[in-house]
Each structure stands twice: as C-alpha cells, then as structure tokens.
Structure 1
C-alpha cells in the first residue's frame, strides 16, 4: 500500500512540476459538439477489496445437470482493499479507451485480475486448503451526449459487458481425502450506462459513471458505480482519484458455478487525450 501511495505522490509531483515549468494554464474546455475525432486513454489502478460467495461443482458427486443437489463446494470470500495486494496472483491489467466524434462516443474498458486466498476448515475433515479466482471483465458502450455545456455534460449509452471467470477450490486431506474442484464460464451481459461530469473550475472537475446489466441474459445482475475527482494538469492530461464498486450475481446452467460477489475500493488513474 505504501508503494501505491508513493507512486501516486510522485505522479502528482512530476505533473505539477511540468505544468509550473513551462505550460500555461489550460483554457476552460468548450462544449464538445464540434465535429472532431478525438481519443482518450485511461490506465488505472483499482485497490479493491472483495466479498461474497462462490460455489463449484464437487467432482466426487455426479450432478447429472440437475443443479446443486449437495454436490458443490461453497466458499465465502472476503479481503479488505488494504489486504488485496498480498492476495494478488499473476498479472493484473486495468484500462479504458474512448473515441469521440461530436456528440457520439465509443468506450472500451478491460480489467483482468487473479486473487488467491486460504480456506479455513478447522483442520478436522480437511486440513485447510486454498481458493483461486481469476476474472476478466470488459465493457463496450456506445454513448450519446444529451447535455453538452462548458461546465457540465451528460452521456447515456448502451452496450455489452463480456466476462470470463475461473474458480478453483482445493481442500487438503484430513479425515477425508483431499479434493480439488474447478469450473470456468464465459458470458456476455447487455448493459446500460450513464456518465456525468461537472467542472468546478479550469482545473478541477468530478465524474460519475454507472452501468447496470445482465437482466438474466448472461448474469442475473451486474452493476457498478464509480465517482472520481479529476485534476487537469495539462491540456492533454488529467489525474483522477475516487471510488469504484462492482457487483455481480452469476449462475451457470445446472448450478455448476455460482458467483455472487462485490468488489469495491479506491481507484487512481490518469487520462491522456490525443
């Protein structure tokens, strides 16, 4: 956590030094109704905690496609955002790209992360174990700017959110033999999106973003909300910090994999315009 805070402070210091050294204060942005193609790239770091439940078909039982039927291993997961860095396993990437022409825009977002945690079993029937959850979540939205003013704007959109999830739960031998249960799934949610930004001054603004999807087509329900405070350090760059919450309730056919989790925590990033 100290490394993350240190990197954020260093980024803010360098950006401020660059602005003071040679750049003039950025002019107040004009309404975006002009017919000009522009792009924004936003890499970000989500220092998120996770809580919820996952269940996987137990390979010692034949479910026969009849649902849970007792043949599942279920695990409650919880890790506060301050502890997640110790639970990360492998590569994590988070970023968004937006293309805009006049009032129309297209936004693509991707997040891939793998978390691992130990399983407490009281060391009787099983002697502990471990769980591993790998998730890739994306979003592709077409947006239309219904409000376009110098001090504020509002986008409404529709799109899709593809998901890929893999869960592995392992229980070590105790009174019973050890067992490992693994399941994976891929699905796509239809989704709606809304985004609002209000500009307090030439340099400071706030952005609200939310989506809701699933509706029983892919997941039962998936939704998220994010709020950031944005600091314009140059005409081509903003630094952003805020909070993001993402919840998903997914159940595969036959009940072999069920995921009901919420991920939330602080988020920091930078938006580059070109």
Structure 2
C-alpha cells in the first residue's frame, strides 16, 4: 500500500472515532431536569373590619309598664331630638376559604317626639285619665355573632348559608301627659307628665339565613343577605334583610380599603310580662347604611 493510501486510511479512522465518541458522550449525558409543578400555597385567614352608620327610621308599637304607644318616625324626625344622628355600627368578618365567622354590633340612643307617637291603649289599673304620649327615649344595643359557609359557586356568583345568634338590649322611657287626677301607681311624675320606665330588658334570638354574593368586577361586589330568628326562644319572631354594594378604592401598607353602601331592614316582635309589668317592642327599623371597610 502506498504512503498516500495509508495517510487517507488514517484520516478516515480518526474521523470515525471522533463521531462515535461524540454520540457515546451524548448517550451518557444525564437527562435534562424536569421543571417541578408549582404547589398552591395553603389558604389562610383574611379579615375585614367595617365601621358604618345606619340612618334609621322606626315604625311599630312600644309598650312600657303596660302603657302602649304607636311609633312612626322617619330618620329626620329622630335626629331632631336624638342624642345620636345615626345608629353606629361595626362589623367584623374572618374568612378562610368557604368558611367565615362574623360579628356585628349596633348601639343607638334615640328620642322620638310626641308628634310621631300616639297612645294605643290606656294604662291598666289607672284611676283617672292619661293623655297622649309626648315622647319616647330608648337605648338599644344589638349584637350578632355567627358563621357563614359557601355551599355553591357559579362563576362570579356565590351562595352562603349562615347561622348564629342575635342579642338585644333595651331601656325605654315613655312620657305621657297627665289629664286630671290619676293614681299613677308605678309611674314617675315630672311636672305635668308621667314617665313609664322599662328598666333593662334583654333577650337572645337564634338566627338562620342565607347570603348571595356577586363579583361584578375585580374589587366590586354586590351582596344580599336575609335571615329569620326568634322562634319563641327570645322574641316571637324576627327577620332581617340587608342589600348593598362594596367597591375597592385603594390599598395602603397591604390593607385594601372599600366603600360600602346599602339598605338594611330589621324587624322584631318581642313581649314579656302582663298588666303593669308588660314590655313589648314590635317594630321595624330600616334605612340606608354607609361605611368604609378595611381588608387584610
């Protein structure tokens, strides 16, 4: 074999060896790492605090120590004499996934003039006559506690069921004009008026209900809640409806702030005692609600 042929054979062998080594190296290379699937972060608690005002109107019957009066007062009628212009309300909700715990507090001190009150019945056991009611002043606290659970969702629409309790506390003073000479018995005389004072009255109602939430857009929610309660445990019966709209308007240090506007109606029929010891509150309170909530 000539030197030229030998040189060509060596070049071919070297090329074949190089290509085979590259293939072997590729075969022995470790496989490329497979990216891990991101794991969902566990859901935690979020909290919402909502102070707001309830511009209340009242219609119904108030009975204090057996003396009854009809009430029909608008918000404007109430603020002309009331120590507070609105019923102050604070709501709190803690949510973790479908479960939410809630608390709601209302405190009012309301005065209603006689032009919005009329006597419904004479006082039992009174010798003589009493005139029409001149004013009604009462303090009231309402505390709600309970839980909601999301039982259904379709797109932006969510449906919750709820259960809890509503505690009521009231003190009422009903002022009556005196006409002629009367044996007032348990009434307190002040000038030409007799005042029936209820003292402290409280009761607890179990409550069940439902709520619908609709996310109209990111940060915008419509809600409607209804509940019933009492069932003879505390009051004979009570019901409540709240509808409203909340909208995010800013974030500060990780806290989202929202405005809340809506309307609330709350009715209760409660009575205890007989004769001069009878106390009754059978009325509906209703009006707009306005507030700001902080969510974190």
Q: How does 1:105-184 map to 2 (within 5 A)?
A: 105-119=100-114, 125-126=130-131, 129-148=134-153, 151-177=156-182, 178-183=193-198, 184=200
1:19 equivalent in structure 2: none
Q: 1:249 aligns with which of 261, 269, 288?
A: 269
Count of residue correspondences: 227
Gaps of 5+ in 2: 1-40, 120-128, 183-192
* Change in 2 beyond 3 A, CA 1:130/1:36: same
2:68 equivalent in structure 1: 74
2:6 equivalent in structure 1: none
Partner SS, residue 83 of structure 1: helix
* Change in 2 beyond 3 A, CA 1:37/1:133: same
2:225 equivalent in structure 1: 209
Conservation of the 8 A alpha-carbon contact between 2:130 and 2:176: no
Coordinate RMSD, CA, aligned: 2.4
Indicate whether 1:94 and 2:85 are aligned.
Answer: no
The CA deviation string for residues 198-232 of structure 1, in whole angstroms up to 9 with x for no partner, is 01212432111122100000001111101102222
Range with greater deviation from structure 2 (241-250 or 204-213): 204-213
Higher normalized contact order (CA 8 Å, seq sep 6+, divided by chain length): 1
Conservation of the 8 A alpha-carbon contact between 1:47 and 1:84: no
Partner SS, residue 98 of structure 1: strand
1:249: Cα distance to partner?
0.3
TM-score scaled by length of structure 1: 0.76
2:51 equivalent in structure 1: 43
1:81: Cα distance to partner?
2.6
| Cα distance in 2, alignment partners of residues 83 and 54 from structure 1 | 17
1:200 equivalent in structure 2: 216
2:289 equivalent in structure 1: 267
Conservation of the 8 A alpha-carbon contact between 1:125 and 1:176: no
| Cα distance in 1, alignment partners of residues 140 and 53 from structure 2 | 16
Q: 2:79 aligns with which of 85, 103, 115?
A: 85
The CA deviation string for residues 112-155 of structure 1, in whole angstroms up to 9 with x for no partner, is 10111223579x95486321121111110111111246612222
